[in-house]
Structure 1
Amino acid sequence: MGEYGYSQRIEEMYAGAKAAEGFVCARVLADYGLGFVIVAEAGEMDAVMSGGMLADVSGIRPVAGDWVVARPAPEGGHAQITGVLPRFSCLERADTMVGWKKTVVAANFDYLIIMISMNANYGLNRIERMLSAARASGGVPVLALSKADLCADSAKLAGRAEAVAAGVDVITFSSVTGEGMAKIMSYFRKGVTCAVVGSSGVGKSTLLNRLMGYEAAKTATVRQEDSKGRHTTTYRALHLLPEGGLFLDTPGIRAFGLTAEGDELDSTFTDIKELASSCRFGDCSHTKEPGCAVLKAIEEGELEERRYLSYMRMAKELDYVRASYDRAVWQERKKKGKAIAKFSKELNKTKGK
């Protein structure tokens, strides 16, 4: 299982799960919603969640890349996944269409490769947003600028990306011409998992096919007028590459809502954080207060207005997300409190009889 990323860390987590005899440690290779493909020492097998996991609506649902506790079934049957081991890395996004509900995009990866194509998909705001989430994931972010063959000035776009991605490797490559492929392939080493995320049409499936040596994933044409593509990957899958390494493929992401976890903005906008420490007021909103070092930097040309607006938009979004989570927690506690009060009342009535 070493080629699938099994290590002493996974072994210790599985030992901590105290699984009964007959259970095995397995890794999820594909997540189809209700069904899964997992791999253990005995090989690959189809699997479903156990009744207990299905009944626990608040529990962790397995996704591709997860390490799980599973009970193999007799030949021809489906194995049952009974538990998910703790994740050492996890990329989540807030679903803006479903009350900012958190959705797991990828789990248990060593590197998080953010793919941005150098056409209409390219945007510094998009890069800053994705990096903010990536830095809070627990994996090492890598920025991969794809479709260099379609860009007239790839060096210029790469330089702009490097300016907002301090401390992050930035790779310019083309799956068509082979430019930069050696660099991106260097991350896919034996036992190392690389999660690849990005919008539809940025070339994730094309990159996977090149690394696999055959068409492991369907590709689709991209509209020339806006460079938008169709979803060719509709489920999460973990692919073992012929030369070693694991490619965690994810569906294209149209919108990426932040989840208000940790210091997502501070780690990406370190320049603004440093400026803010010099503001006259500790609770400065950086909008109108006198003595605001951030606004002063914009006036003097030290801080780009675009970057400032990107920061402010995400800060406002995070404030809203935190407030939404607080309301959800309050409502859930209120609901549980009413249930407990109702149960206590009924219990007292029973005792009085």
Structure 2
Amino acid sequence: MLEKLQALEERFLEIEKSISDPELVTKDQKKWKELTKEHSDLQGTIEKYKEYKKVCQSYEEAQEIISSQTDDDLVELAKEEINELENDKLKLEEELKVLLLPKDPNDSKNVIVEIRGSAGGDEAALFANDIFKMYCRYAESKGWKTEVLNSHYNDIGGIKEITFVIEGEGAYSRLKYESGVHRVQRIPSTESGGRIHTSTITVAVLPEVEDVDVEINANDLRVDRFCSSGPGGQSVNTTQSAVRITHLPTGITVSCQDEKSQHKNKDKAMRVLRARLVEKYEEEQASELADERKSQVGTGDRSERIRTYNFPQSRVTDHRIGLTLHKLDGILAGELDQIVEELITADQLEKMKKVE
């Protein structure tokens, strides 16, 4: 671990020297931006390493006092300091192990989120709307921007399906764990007998990719144009502004109708298509990842779930980590940090086991 940290510190200092060179800024902006980002990514680890080295130095000094001093009071103080420093040293070593774990290259990217009502009809669609609002409120609390790319609502304000992008530094790193089946248990407003119903929705979270991340041949695309529709399928636009793009080699189809402009709808559809294609290619390259993805998203059946939202008990349970919180209203209001932090910790512990 110390060898890795030493190498990273040397790399950090090397980058620091490069990005402070005004000639690089002038001649190669792209390279300068890449180095600046790498410098920023390393900064937290290097600062923690410096803190660790400082503790190690203090520890050695305290040991020197114990072995060389004859003053009992000084020796006693040094022993007390050593106990504290040992605890600090162990804590910092654990933190550094986490910081040295392989980074997900997508963590700093924006996310494209797709929510679909699944088992439960209208009640599932209403719950899909609740979860969409939950993510919007969470994004707002982080200072991130949300933009709807495509949506289909039913007659009572429920969401059949919605695709939206959340733009903000680290959005993917915190929302990637939301992929899967979300289950709701509550009494529907239409239920006269007061019985609790169970419904499900599926959530997929994809990192948004740049044009350079995937090459799309225009000849591989079929673009269909049609009139956009509102709740219940009624036409809300007499012009053919809605766009459906089919990627012929893979059969992936993406639609967008939320904008009045055909051009804007096509741009939005291409953003989603790029993300889905990258995901598909990555899954093909790593079958293990593909199996994990399938087990996360599943089919939307009531028996499959990553999280349950129980309204009568004001309870939210994340089944992957066995976490139960009795603050449903707060979570639906966007207070997701506690769940997200627990999921990140569990993921890091799992990765540390594999490294060890």
The TM-score range, normalised by the shorter chain, is under 0.3
TM-score by length of 1: 0.25
